[in-house]
Amino acid sequence: MASRAGRRILWIVSALGLLLVGLLGGGLWTTWRMQRYQVPAEPVRIVERVQLGGGETVGAVTLPGRNGAQITVDPVVLNQVFREVAQRVTPAVVYIEVRVGRAGGEKWLRQMDPNQEPFFQEFTPRQSVGSGVLVSRDGYIVTNYHVVQNAAEILVTLADKRQYQGRLIGFDRSTDLAVLKITPRSGETFPVVAFGNSDELQVGEWVLAIGNPFRLTSTVTAGIVSALGRQVNIIEDFFRVEDFIQTDAAINPGNSGGALVNLRGELVGINTAIATESGAYEGYGFAVPVNLVARVVEDLIAYGEVQRGYLGVSIQEIDARQARLLGLPGVQGVLITEVRKGSAADQAGLQSGDVVLAVNGRAVNAPNELQSVVARYRPGDRIDLEVWRNAQRLHLQAQLMGRETSAYQEWFSELTQQAPALPESPQEPAPDSVFNLENWGLGLRDLSDQEYKTFKVNSGVYIAYVARGSVADEAGLPRDVVILQIEGFEVAALEDVLALLEEFEATEAVLFRVKKRDGTIAFYEVLVPEPISVQR
């Protein structure tokens, strides 16, 4: 018996020992893992009690964050926020139907055929329904232009089922926005949505999309801001301004013109389009930022059109190689490829090759961002520009001009004219007139008298052909353009090109500045081949 009792005691002691070792080992492993992956050591805990309007008391909790910070989260309170925002904003979002003219008479279009309208972003007169947002108590409504385009009659239905005839006040093709007006009956006022500040939006913020998808009126969906400053080339206008808020809140056909709001119930965008292959929501929706909306709405109500100021420049995105060649501290800013003579930019002292870093203190790092910022100002407004030139920061001030200015009229006419069609294959010039830069894959020659007039240049060298698979072809350098500069040095004749390419043969890449037939200026960075071979 004693032996059996002894063995039992030994077994118990051993088990306790293993348990203690396991606990100690597990604790050490957990501590190491927390340190290795920075897992918060503190558990979720209740930090305060929150009293709701109905007398309900709930517990708010905190999550240990990075660097000792704490994030307070309460699902019940968050639900209450969603409910209150939806209740506050939904009455101000209206349902829009349009009557359009067709051969054989006019009729209300009430059937949406997905087979006929495969892409929501295709702005066509067949769009028959959409959404709008009341922005004044006397009945002004902002919506998308493609919702009411070619409308013979507009019917506006409020969330409480009241109906009114809508009148088109004005529209702006460049932003795809329009303003309607409904007339209140005696003693009536309309609910409105307060404008927020879209410049303060950050990726990850909660937003709600409110509209009428598939004729499901007063539908509310939730998501986050998934990206900012998107350009998706969906607005069918040469001077389009696209600086969209991207969201994963569900947006579908019929949401166009509806509200995108933050958790304060403030309007931050007008829902405009989705990226889709099926014609329905696939996770990516786009909204016009409210700061741009406010500017457009104000002008449309006051003047019936947008009074927009222009700098008078052609612009291009900066990539990593160009940033290095220009001496920029990072890949930032927007490259000025051309400054129109007599324009606001010209009078301000901007030059081709400058990089615009900021406008009125706001950084711009893409062409659409610069367009969006400038589009908020009227002719005569002054804007402060932070510019990078010759490895130095400059501050210039430009006074914007309207498109009717004499300095712009010819320019706008040129930009809107269609470029002449090019031959399908290069027309080979006579062998004695073309220099073959074999390793570069370029055929160059001096300009003819007619080409000086066609390209509107005083000097330059014509690119007669680009060999397929060459370094020039891989860089995207096209044929039928005029080389104006190489690495910032002016090119007057063929000899200049040959001398400059020889001078820069020890560098990694060479930057070509060229002019196309339609007048646009472009930059191409071509890797330097080894060795350089020049043949006549």
Q: Which of 128, 146, 174, 470 is catalytic?
A: 146
| Integer Cα distance of 416 and 212 in angstroms | 36
Question: Checking phi first, is residue 53 left (phi over 0); if not, alpha (psi -120 to 50) or beta?
Answer: alpha
- Tokens 């307070």 correspond to 72
- Catalytic residue selected from 74, 131, 172, 176: 176
Q: Answer whether 385's CB lies under 8 Å from 359's CB.
A: yes
If DSSP codes are grouped into helix, strand and coil, which group holds residue 279?
Answer: coil
**Which residues are annotated binding-site positions?**
146, 176, 254-256
Q: Tell me the two tokens of residue 306.
A: 């947008």
- Containing 226, the helix (H) or strand (E) segment is strand 219-230
Per the structure block, which two tokens stand in for 291?
A: 């700061």
Neighbours of 175 (CB within 10 A): 28
d(CA 517, CA 482): 9
Tokens describing residue 392: 């130095």
> Residues 339, 307: contact at Cβ < 8 Å?
no
The closest of 231, 261, 230 to 246, measured between CA atoms, is: 230
Half-sphere exposure of 401 (CA within 13 A, CB side): 21
The active-site residue, picked from 131, 256, 343, 372, is 256
Sign of CA dihedral 132, 135, 137, 141: negative
**How far, in Å, CA of 454 to CA of 462, rounded?**
12
Is the distance from CB of 274 to CB of 261 less than 8 angstroms?
A: no
Angle at Cα 309 formed by Cα 307 and Cα 315, nearest 5°?
Answer: 140
14 phi, psi to nearest 5 deg: -65, -45
The Cα–Cα gap between 332 and 356 comes to 9
Q: Is 395 noted as a catalytic residue in this protein?
A: no
| Backbone angle region of 359, left / alpha / beta, with phi > 0 → left and psi within -120 to 50 → alpha | beta
* Beta pairing partners, 289: 269
Two tokens at 375? 């589009």
List helix spans (H) across 50-166: 75-89, 145-148
Beta strand residue intervals within 242-326, DSSP E: 244-247, 259-261, 267-274, 285-289, 313-317
Feature table: binding site for substrate:
146, 176, 254-256
234, HSE (Cβ side, Cα atoms, 13 Å):
25
| The pair of three-digit structure tokens given for residue 14, joined into one six-digit string | 């051993």
- Neighbouring-strand partners of residue 68: none
Q: Which residues contact 31 (CB under 8 A, 6 or more apart)?
A: none
As a whole number of angstroms, the distance between CA 447 and CA 514 comes to: 13
Dist. CA 272–CA 212, nearest whole Å: 13
Catalogue the active-site residues.
146, 176, 256
